Structure 1
Amino acid sequence: MQNSTKANKTVIITGATSGLGYSCAEAIARSGQDWQIIIASRNLSKVEEAVRTLIAETKYPNIEGMSLDLASTASVRQFVKNFLTGERPPLQAIVCNAGISLVSDTLYTEDGFEMTFGVNHLGHFLLVNLLLPQMSDRSGIVFVSSSVHDPDANTGMPHPQYQAAKALAFPTDDDNNANIGNTGRERYTTSKLCNILCAYELSRRLQKQQSNITVNAFNPGLMLDTKFYRDCSESEMSAFVANVPQSIMDSARDSKTMGNALARLILDPSLNGTTGKYFDGLEEVRSSDESYDEKKATELWESSAELLKLSPKEATLVQ
């Protein structure tokens, strides 16, 4: 049992009620590093249940839950307001873990953005930009991406098709065609590319301002023990598995192991100062060629700020 010590730094983890995010929170709770851990997710009852379970399992008391719906800019802004009004240790880490993949229909966020792009990219983009002024020196930000962003990874998923951010936010695909499943998977792989483009661009902009805040991207690999595929019917899941190369299936990972690897990017002092990198589990590797396209990253960043109507005060890194 750990001693009930007072936390001296705060980490926010999105989508941590189960799976990878939950395991990341558990690893941080067991680290002995005195973090205030915030579980941020849209389903408050699941958030509260996750907090109770984590405290019971780890015997670590400094864990709390907050409501955050990344499909609503109003919710993101309210989350930040609620965070600022609370008495918490300095914000030292944000783990952008939450994500969705829709293969059965095209849905839209509260603000009218295509849901996959809206949640996986825009919601986190807004959250991070609003919280940047609150982050302490030598803080860390991690965007959870995926190997599906890389056309050369042979994942069995459609290749990402990056367009201008506004085209991704407001797609003109024929949603009634029989290929909506493939369209949904393509939107997902593209959103995972956006996560890396965003991470690298944020890292570059912070370095230009001589900030010590680090930003990295993380690939947990294929994990079949999570609730990520909840939107898939049994037949859709079977089709997905059938398309995944056997080599990928054989190397499938579990969320607990990858949760520890994700937490390492926040906890490991040897990574202090490491920024603008891509980690496949514990290993730093090169991401796709396209992910290093600075022109696309700049367009994504500036167009996202415009889509979200960031004020000049909020958009301090939009230059």
Structure 2
Amino acid sequence: MTRRTVIITGANTGLGFECARTILNCDSSWHVVLAVRDPLRGAHAVDRLGAADRCTVLPCDLASLRSVGGFVDALTRADLPPLHAIVCNAGLQVVDTSQVTADGIEMTFGVNHLGHFALVTTLLDHLATPGRIVVVSSGTHDPDKFTGMPAPQFTSAADLALPGNPDDKDGRRRYTTSKLCNMLFAYELDRRLDQGARGVTVTAFDPGLMPGSGLAREYTPLGRLAWRYLFPLLRVLPNVNSIATSGARLAALTVDPSFDGVTGTYFEGSRAIPSSKESYDTATALDLWATSEQLVATARA
């Protein structure tokens, strides 16, 4: 009998799908809400998961704060078990010309950070205890780790939200900076929830390099080919994982009792490690939080 609900953004494919699959298979007490842009693809994912009675598909486009609000309204009206967990998984990497969200926000920042910020902060009053929030980040947020990606560049949150120059093709840096935002958000949220004292824990997760995932959908045809067929050969290297392996580790952080009470912690796979120096900067986190609140309030006005 289902007694608890977990929301997973981007659960129709890749890491989110494998996380949902593991949760459904390992614990029958969980009901999974697939928060997805395309409900039809979400329905197809439910068919593949094989547990239609424990899945609900609700539209949620993180590139539209109105859509995020509509998702929350639909969730609160649905007859579902109490909400106990949120997995902020969906993300994108735009490698070509800078794009903007429906609200005029730079796309990578808007989807990878701001949409999740709006979702989580709006749902906090609906989150039952004990509750968990897991934010999917990336090792690319840390410039001290060799990832082959450019270092994040956080000037101010207001700057990150501005639409980019049409000639700006530095999408890989926008991506790593958004992953730093994920870390800053997770730690600041944990502080505001009194570091678990209110019954809600917050952790951040690096799934590692996952060849074959949908993150390369904006790559060139040659890049997508290499991502699909050549990069899987790198799985012999540290922190290069199959999507199924990372999905199972993300699911464990979300529902496994062994992580009860663990909060304010960053995991590389199943291992707790320090995150980047900048991710612990409280002044930067406060700037990000205040700007995010203002952007959400403006969009809803």
Q: What residue number does 1:124 align with?
A: 116
In the TM superposition, what is the alpha-carbon distance from 1:47 to its structure 2 partner? 0.5
Quote the Cα distance in structure 1 between the aligned partners of 2:92 and 2:159: 19
CA drift of 1:198 comes to 0.1
Q: Cα RMSD between the aligned structures?
A: 2.2
Q: Distance in 1 between matches of 2:48 and 2:224?
A: 29
Fraction of identical pairs, as percent: 44
Instruction: Give unmatched runs, 5+ long, in structure 1.
Output: 1-5, 315-319
Which of the numbers 27, 42, 47 marks the counterpart of 2:22?
27
Residue 299 of structure 1 and its aligned partner are, at CA, apart by 0.9
Residue 7 (structure 2) aligns with: 12
1:160 aligned residue (134, 152, 157)? 152
Residues 166 and 307 in structure 1, CA contact (< 8 A), matched pair in contact too: no
Partner of 2:37: 42
Rounded to whole Å, the distance in 1 between the matches of 2:8 and 2:87 is 5
Match of 2:194 in 1: 207
Match of 1:93 among 85, 89, 106: 85
Determine if contact 2:17/2:247 at 8 Å carries over to the other structure.
Answer: yes
Per-residue CA shift, 1:109-141, capped at 9, x if unaligned? 000000000000000000001100000111000
Q: Does 1:288 align with 2:288?
A: no
CA contact (8 A) 2:205 2:250 kept: yes
Give the length in aligned residue pairs: 296
Distance change in 2, residues 1:260/1:62 (3 Å): same
**C-alpha separation in 1, matches of 2:220 and 2:83:** 39
Is contact 1:157–1:186 with CA below 8 Å preserved after alignment? yes
* Paired residues of 1:30 and 1:60 also in contact (CA < 8 A): no
Kept in 2, the 8 Å contact 1:16–1:41? The answer is: yes
Match of 1:232 in 2: 219
Q: Distance in 1 between matches of 2:227 and 2:143?
A: 17
What is the one-letter code of the residue matched to 1:115?
Answer: M
SS in 1 for 2:191: helix
1:170-319, aligned counterparts within 5 Å?
170-171=162-163, 173-176=164-167, 180=169, 183-207=170-194, 210-237=197-224, 250-251=237-238, 252-309=240-297
Unaligned runs of 5+ in 2: none
Which residue identity lines up with residue 256 of structure 2 in the other structure? D
* Matches of 1:169 and 1:239, distance apart in 2: 31
2:94 aligned partner: 102
How far is the alpha carbon of 1:53 from its aligned partner? 1.1
**TM-score between the two structures when normalised by the length of structure 2:** 0.93
- Deviation of 1:33 after TM superposition, in Å, equals 4.0
How far apart are 1:236 and its partner, in Å? 4.5
Which residue does 1:3 correspond to in 2? Answer: none
Residue pair 2:195, 2:264 contacting (<8 A) in 1 also: no
Q: Partners in 2 of 1:49 and 1:237 — Cα distance?
A: 23
Deviation at 1:31, TM superposition (A): 1.2
Instruction: Letter of the 2:157 partner, please give it.
Output: A
**Could you tell me how far apart the structure 2 residues matched to 1:121 and 1:110 are?**
15
Provide the rounded CA distance (Å) in 1 between the counterparts of 2:195 and 2:245.
35
Secondary structure in 2 matching 1:308: helix
Using the alignment, how far apart are the partners of 2:143 and 2:227 within structure 1? 17
1:282-309 Cα deviation digits (max 9, x unpaired)? 0011101110011101110111101111
Deviation at 1:78, TM superposition (A): 0.4
Distance 1:263 1:103 in 2: 29
Question: How many angstroms does 1:247 deviate by?
Answer: 7.7
Kept after mapping to 2: 8 A contact 1:143/1:199: yes
Task: Give the TM-score of the pair, scaled to structure 1.
Answer: 0.88
